[in-house]
Amino acid sequence: MTFSEQLTNWYLPNKRDLPWRNTQDPYKIWLSEIILQQTRIEQGLSYYYTFVEKYPTVADLAAAELDAVLKDWEGLGYYSRARNLHFTANSVMDSLNGKFPNSYEELLKLKGVGTYTAAAISSFASKEKRAVVDGNVYRVLGRLYNIEDPIDANPGKKRYQEIADDLISDKYPDLHNQAIMEFGATHCTKHKPKCETCIFQKQCLAFQKNTIDSRPVKKKKNKIQNRYLNFYHIADQNNFLIQQRTDKGIWFQLYQLPLHESLDKRGFDNHIPNLELLGDFEIFSIHPDRNLIHLLSHQKLHIRFWKIEVKELKKIEQHQLVSLADPVAKAFPKPISEFLQNQLKPKLFQK
Ligand code: SF4
């Protein structure tokens, strides 16, 4: 029995029933793949349902406002994925007459689609023989073959892809790809893999050499940058101020409260709001409201929200006024969205 046959024999009775596994529509598979990048299935599932319901075709997604798409993406993080979705939907409408591609080569031309995503969509949608290599596949192959080449350097990547290409089934590339990723996600897991019941135990070199915990090998460690953000909730009786982020860093094009970023921890600890920003508003009170830490893949955000009450709020340049009664109409980064929802709570009890 080939490796692929063993793998699919394991997969069929063990697989999870996930909605994108029941379609061959490349558009819906693409949605699921973009949503699931850097995201756990449990978290991505509700977003997939939202997107398929609100934007059942690529034309619906292209016709939507970017702001609405970002709002639907709120809380999922890595917002460039949502911007790429919207951009790509429009380019499929403009350049491909609205027909979403299902071949590897055509898929690779789409913004935000790399070799892994193109292989996944083309194999699932049209059974093209293209082997996927994602984090789960790196782990499974790294352990089975006890590979010492790092997965974050080109020679290693090339070697893994060659092994994956050798192993994939001619007849059922779609099932094979699903199966190897599922095996990595649920059986050969990062922590506590189920080696005792593993069908590959006898072949697994990492099991024999006791190197499971150090496979796959990674060269670089992620460097975490600390950032110190002061957000001002500037409000009168009815409204508060927001602004759209224009820096091409985190949260690009999302909305936020007016921001002052401190250079370091000392500046953050000693910070008091920049009153110049407020123009000639009559200020009733200023006080820090809450501190929190928000972790991103490469950044640790130290966040402090300030509550600043003024007599009468006026619109200021590059800011918008939003009603206090409708604080989350725009797409905000998760910590700001949660803060704003909390502001609303006391009002719900006033009636
Ligand atoms: Fe993974 Fe353990 Fe099976 Fe090796 S024996 S493939 S480490 S589950």
If you measure from the C-alpha of residue 6 to the centroid of ligand 1, how many angstroms do you get, rounded to a whole number?
A: 14
From 146, 167, 207, the mutation candidate for ligand 1 (largest count of ligand atoms within 8 A of CB) is: 207
If you measure from the C-alpha of residue 8 to the centroid of ligand 1, how many angstroms do you get, rounded to a whole number?
A: 16
Residues with CB under 6 A from ligand 1: 143-144, 187-188, 193-195, 198, 200-201, 204, 206-207, 212
Q: The tokens of 115 are what?
A: 């070799």
Query: Does 348 score more than 60 pLDDT?
Result: no
From 137, 145, 163, 187, the mutation candidate for ligand 1 (largest count of ligand atoms within 8 A of CB) is: 187
Task: Tell me the H-state helices in the chain.
Answer: 3-14, 26-36, 41-54, 58-63, 66-73, 80-95, 104-108, 115-126, 135-144, 154-167, 173-186, 205-209, 265-269, 334-348
Of the pLDDT bands very low, low, confident and very high (cuts 50, 70, 90), residue 330 is confident
Q: Which amino acid is at 174?
A: D
User: In the beta sheet, which residues pair with residue 158?
Assistant: none
How do residues 40-61 score in pLDDT, each as one tens digit?
999 999 999 999 999 999 999 9
Distance of alpha carbon 161 from alpha carbon 181, whole angstroms: 14
Atom of ligand 1 nearest to the CA of 139: 1
User: In the beta sheet, which residues pair with residue 235?
Assistant: 240, 309
Residue with tokens 């978290």: 43
Element (H, E) at 261: strand 259-262
Indicate whether this model's pTM tops 0.75.
yes
Question: Cβ neighbours of residue 261 under 8 Å, at least 6 residues apart?
Answer: 227, 228, 229, 230
Burial 137-163 (b: 16+ CB within 10 A, else e): bbbbbbbbbbbebbbeeeebbebbbeb
pLDDT, mean of residues 195-217: 97
Cis omega (within 30 of 0) on the bond before 216?
yes
How do residues 262-305 score in pLDDT, each as one tens digit?
999 999 999 988 766 667 788 888 999 989 999 998 899 999 99
Of the pLDDT bands very low, low, confident and very high (cuts 50, 70, 90), residue 156 is very high
| pLDDT number for residue 217 | 96
| pLDDT number for residue 345 | 58
Looking at per-residue pLDDT, the higher value among 143 and 315 belongs to 143
Residue numbers annotated as active site: 33
Query: Does 203 score more than 60 pLDDT?
Result: yes
* CA nearest ligand 1 atom 1, residue: 188
If you measure from the C-alpha of residue 10 to the centroid of ligand 1, how many angstroms do you get, rounded to a whole number?
A: 13
* CA nearest ligand 1 atom 2, residue: 195
Domains of the chain: 3-134+151-184 (1.10.340.30), 231-350 (3.90.79.10)
- Residue 49, phi then psi, degrees to nearest 5: -60, -40
| pLDDT number for residue 275 | 66
- Say how many Å lie between the first and final Cα of the chain, rounded: 70
Mean residue pLDDT across the chain: 92
Q: Are 13 and 186 in contact (CB under 8 A)?
A: no
DSSP secondary structure string, 281-319?
A: PPEEEEEEEEEEEEE-SSEEEEEEEEEEEESS----TT-
Atom of ligand 1 nearest to the CA of 215: 7
If you measure from the C-alpha of residue 13 to the centroid of ligand 1, how many angstroms do you get, rounded to a whole number?
A: 18
